[in-house]
Amino acid sequence: MKKLRMAIFDFACCEGCQLQIVNMEEGLLDLLDIVEPVEWREAISDQSEEYDLAFVEGSITREEDEQRLKDIRQRARILVALGACAVNGGVNRLKNAPDMDEVRRCVYGNSATMPHLATAPTKAVGEVVKVDFEVRGCPMSRREFTYIVRCLAAATTPVVPTYPVCVECKLRETVCRYEFNEVCLGVVTRAGCNAPCPAGGQWCYGCRGLVDDPNVNGAKDIMDKYGKTVADLRSRMELFNSVEARQCQGQ
Partner 1 sequence: MPAKKLSQSALALWVRKLIETRRVVAPQAKAEHFAYAPLSQAEDLRLDHDVTILPPRKYLMPPSEVLLRFTRKDGYTSVIEHEPMILFGVHPYDVAAIAQADRYFLHDRPDIHYQTRRRSITIVASDVQNASEDVFAACLGTATVHDGFDVLLTRVGDAYVIESRTPAGDALLALAQDLQEADPVSLGRREQVWEDAQKLLRRQVLKCNPQELPALLDAAREHPVWEKRSQTCFSCGSCVTVCPSCFCFDVEDELDPDLQSGTRRRQWDACLLSGFAVVAGGHNFRKRREERYRHRFYRKAKYLPERFGFMGCVGCGRCVKACTAGIANPVEVYNTLLEGAS
Partner 2 sequence: MMQTPASTTAEADADLYLPRPATVRSRTVLTATEMLFELAMDDGKPLGHMPGQFVEVSLPGIGEAPISVSSSPDGRDRFELVVRRAGRVTAAMHDCRMGERVGIRGPFGTHFPVDGVLRGRDVVFIAGGLGLAPLRSAIQYVLNHRKDYGRVTVLYGIKSPVERMFLDELDDWSRRPDMTFMETVDRADATWKGNVGVITRLIPAAEIDPKRSIVVACGPPIMYKFVIVSLYSIDVANEDIYVSLERRMKCGIGKCGHCQIGGLYACLEGPVFHYPVLLGVEEAI
**Chain contacts with partner 1 (rule: CB under 8 A):** 1, 30-31, 33-34, 147, 150-151, 153-154, 159, 162-164, 166-167, 170-171, 173, 175-176, 178-179, 186-188, 211-215, 217-219, 221-222, 225
157's contact among partner 2, partner 1, none, with CB below 5 to 8 A by partner kind, is partner 2
| Residue 23 to residue 150: CA distance in whole angstroms | 18
Sign of the torsion angle spanned by Cα atoms 73, 58, 46, 141: negative
Strands lying side by side in the sheet with 76-82: 35-40, 4-10, 51-57, 76-82, 133-135
Is 1 a residue that touches partner 2 (CB under 8 A)?
no
Q: In this structure, what DSSP letter does residue 2 have?
A: P
Q: CA 40 to CA 55: how far, in whole Å?
A: 10
Task: With residue 133 as reference, give the H or E element that holds it.
Answer: strand 133-135
> Which of partner 2, partner 1, none has residue 248 at its interface (CB below 5 to 8 Å by kind)?
none
213 binds, among partner 1, partner 2, none (CB under 5 to 8 A by kind): partner 1
CB of 177 to partner 2, least distance (A): 30
Per DSSP, the three-state class of 174 is coil
Q: Which of residues 126-165 bind partner 2 (CB under 8 A)?
A: 154-157, 159
By C-beta, is 157 or 235 nearer to partner 2?
Answer: 157
Nearest approach in angstroms of CB 176 to partner 1 is 7
Crossing angle between the packed helical segments 216-225 and 230-237, to the nearest 10 degrees: 120
Per CB under 8 A, residues contacting partner 2 are: 154-157, 159
